[in-house]
Chains A and B, each alone.
Chain A
Amino acid sequence: MFSYCADPDTLSGLTWLSCYLTTGKHMQFYLSFGTVLLLLAITAPSALLFGFFGAASARSRIWPVAWFGKGYIAIVRGVPDIAFFLFFVIALDQGFEWVRHQVLCPDWDQPIRQGNDFIVCAQAKLPRGNTAQWVHEVYGFFLAVLTFSIVFGAFAANVLFGAMRAVPHAQIETAEAYGMSRRQTFWRILVPQMWVYALPGLSNLWMVLVKATPLLFLLGIEDIVYWARSLGGTANPRFTEYPHGDWRMWYFLALLIFYLGFTRISEIYLERLMLKLTRGQATSGGEAQRKVTA
């Protein structure tokens, strides 16, 4: 990085540290913070979307739809995360490839499952075998987002399902008395009011999601915990220009500070959101707000 870093053995103190902290490996560590934040930024809204559809279909009067919604919530919530991340992603990837295989290679005469192997034609591979590494990484990231969304969507669905039932029944009945259709009642009365009941549960989910990102390495994505472990591990002078002992504690301390800071920022924003959602609601919080302004 800096010109004086050419021969790290001669350096000491802060100069050594400035060189050490700017190696290519450290740059990838810093970059992985971006990966994690990007993952959160995409996953949170899409998980909410999954959750919304899960909850809405679980409430449906059409029983196959209701069964689908309830089944989704029950199954995903019941399966351990680690099992999900180890096997579901591979299954998901194979599912995509299987569909592409059926479409793109109808004349293929060999079985797709050969013993333990999963073989599709070269055109059906996702991404194609000879694509650049970054395409593989983007695809892996996309699979990670989708998996996280499905898993956290199920939890969000359960939270929203409860929140929808927490909206006072009198509100729904009043809407019906005004002559609103079921659809109108859902969108105009139920959905705007449910968020205040859902937010405590959803904010919990958000905090769990923030800390669930180390599961990313199971999907082959190098996240902050992977790099902290790799960088902090004993660096033998035979294999590096910057030898050091077991420094994992310091790296994990840095991660701790990052996570605590992130938690604090999240709390501040969630609190503000809660204040906003409470306004005009028939809850004790809404009542308190009304009294202050009155």
Chain B
Amino acid sequence: MRKIILSTAALAISASMAMAQDVVRLGTEGAYPPWNFINDSGEVDGFERELGDELCKRAELNCQWVTNDWDSIIPNLVSGNYDVIIAGMSITDERDEVIDFTQNYTPPDPSAYLAMSEDVDLEGGVIAAQAGTIQAGYVAESGATLVEFATPEETIAAVRNGEADAVLADKSFLTPVADEDADLMIVGPDVALGGGVGLGVRESDPELKATLDAAIQSMKDDGSLNAMIEKWDVASTF
């Protein structure tokens, strides 16, 4: 066993010498279109792919994409398996205690309910949400019965098969779903949650945070961020 460890280490060292420039690893979920998803050729794609690549170009970082399960996305960041979370993660106080966020790259944006009919009971019914999201936290406090699922896809499936009356998620995620399926519709008023979406970085990594903050600011200043938001239709613009 020690031999394997040593040879892995040797591999890692020899490979690292080939690339002198520092690599910043970007962790995402890859299951939340249009924010991030795996495209037909099996690569990370979507709004955040384009945004991340542009931010890295502006900050002159050499970036690498990694996908990780949503449930373990924060533990893996603080443990140093990647350096940035770029996964449509809303800035909340609870998360801010564990990791640091850059300034938001989309404004605080509405969440919405998606259901099979207009007259569902949003206050007392059964509402689906992805586990560990701000929407799940909101439903739990609202008095409705919360059913949680590991992936966004399963929350929609739960509404289709009647397990849940409605699903609460980012409106930008639900709108293309509702457009595509005649049975599903956005219902009720929008709900404003969170402080916008930001990049998650380790609290001990203030330099990277400052670099990325500056890159986001420059994209905000020249309007390219707004153009990108409109292209992917993920949120309202700044």
Which residues of A line the B interface, CB within 8 A?
23-25, 27-28, 86-87, 90, 93-94, 96-97, 100, 114-120, 125-133, 135-136, 138-139, 142, 146, 217-218, 220, 222, 229-230, 233-234, 236-242, 246, 248
Task: With both chains docked as a complex, state the minimum distance between the C-beta of B65 and any C-beta of chain A, in angstroms.
Answer: 8
A131–B12 alpha-carbon span in the complex (Å): 7
From B12, B42, B62, give the contact of A128 (CB < 8 A). Answer: B12
**Cβ contacts under 8 Å, B34 to chain A:** 238-239
Q: Which of B11, B37, B38, B40 has the most CB of A within 10 A?
A: B40
The 8 A CB mask of B112-137 against A (1 = contact, 0 = none) is 00000000000000000000000000
A128 near B79 (CB under 8 angstroms)?
no
Q: Which of A229, A239, A242 has the most CB of B within 10 A?
A: A239
Contact flag A117-B42 (CB < 8 Å), given A90-B79, A220-B67, A234-B153: no
A220 near B66 (CB under 8 angstroms)?
yes
B39 near A229 (CB under 8 angstroms)?
no
- Within B174-233, which residues are at the interface with A (CB < 8 Å)? 176-177, 180, 202-205
From B45, B69, B203, give the contact of A117 (CB < 8 A). Answer: B203
B12 near A93 (CB under 8 angstroms)?
no
B71 near A86 (CB under 8 angstroms)?
yes
Q: Give 10 A-B contacts (CB < 8 Å), ordered by A residue.
A: A23-B42, A25-B39, A86-B72, A90-B79, A130-B22, A131-B15, A131-B23, A220-B68, A239-B176, A246-B153
Which residues of B line the A interface, CB within 8 A?
1, 4-5, 8-9, 11-13, 15-16, 18-23, 25, 30-31, 33-34, 37-43, 45-46, 62, 64, 66-69, 71-72, 75-76, 78-81, 83, 98-99, 151, 153, 156-157, 160, 176-177, 180, 202-205
**Cβ contacts under 8 Å, B22 to chain A:** 129-130
B156 near A234 (CB under 8 angstroms)?
yes
A294–B193 alpha-carbon span in the complex (Å): 80
From B68, B76, B204, give the contact of A119 (CB < 8 A). Answer: B204
Given A24-B43, A90-B72, A94-B79, 17 more A-B residue pairs with CB atoms under 8 Å apart are A23-B40, A87-B75, A90-B75, A93-B81, A97-B80, A115-B204, A116-B78, A116-B203, A117-B204, A118-B78, A118-B79, A118-B80, A119-B80, A126-B8, A146-B1, A234-B156, A239-B46
**Cβ contacts under 8 Å, B11 to chain A:** 127, 135, 138
Contact flag A230-B30 (CB < 8 Å), given A128-B12, A130-B16, A239-B39: yes
**Cβ contacts under 8 Å, A229 to chain B:** 151, 153
A128–B22 alpha-carbon span in the complex (Å): 10
A25 near B42 (CB under 8 angstroms)?
yes
Task: With both chains docked as a complex, state the minimum distance between the C-beta of B114 and any C-beta of chain A, in angstroms.
Answer: 13
**Cβ contacts under 8 Å, A120 to chain B:** 80
From B41, B72, B153, give the contact of A233 (CB < 8 A). Answer: B153
Task: With both chains docked as a complex, state the minimum distance between the C-beta of A23 and any C-beta of chain B, in angstroms.
Answer: 4
**Cβ contacts under 8 Å, A129 to chain B:** 16, 22-23, 25, 83
A86 near B8 (CB under 8 angstroms)?
no
- Give the residue name and chain of the B residue nearest to A143 (CB): B8
A236–B41 alpha-carbon span in the complex (Å): 15
From A116, A217, A234, give the contact of B177 (CB < 8 A). Answer: A234
A133–B34 alpha-carbon span in the complex (Å): 24
Task: With both chains docked as a complex, state the minimum distance between the C-beta of B3 and any C-beta of chain A, in angstroms.
Answer: 12
Leading 9 A-B pairs by shortest Cβ distance: A24-B41, A127-B12, A128-B16, A130-B23, A233-B153, A24-B42, A25-B42, A117-B204, A28-B42
A132–B15 alpha-carbon span in the complex (Å): 7
**Cβ contacts under 8 Å, A86 to chain B:** 71-72, 75
A138–B15 alpha-carbon span in the complex (Å): 12
From B19, B38, B67, B80, give the contact of A132 (CB < 8 A). Answer: B19
**Cβ contacts under 8 Å, B156 to chain A:** 234
**Cβ contacts under 8 Å, A128 to chain B:** 12-13, 15-16
A117 near B4 (CB under 8 angstroms)?
no
**Cβ contacts under 8 Å, A133 to chain B:** 64, 66
B176 near A236 (CB under 8 angstroms)?
yes
Contact flag A25-B12 (CB < 8 Å), given A86-B75, A119-B80, A218-B71: no
A239 near B25 (CB under 8 angstroms)?
no
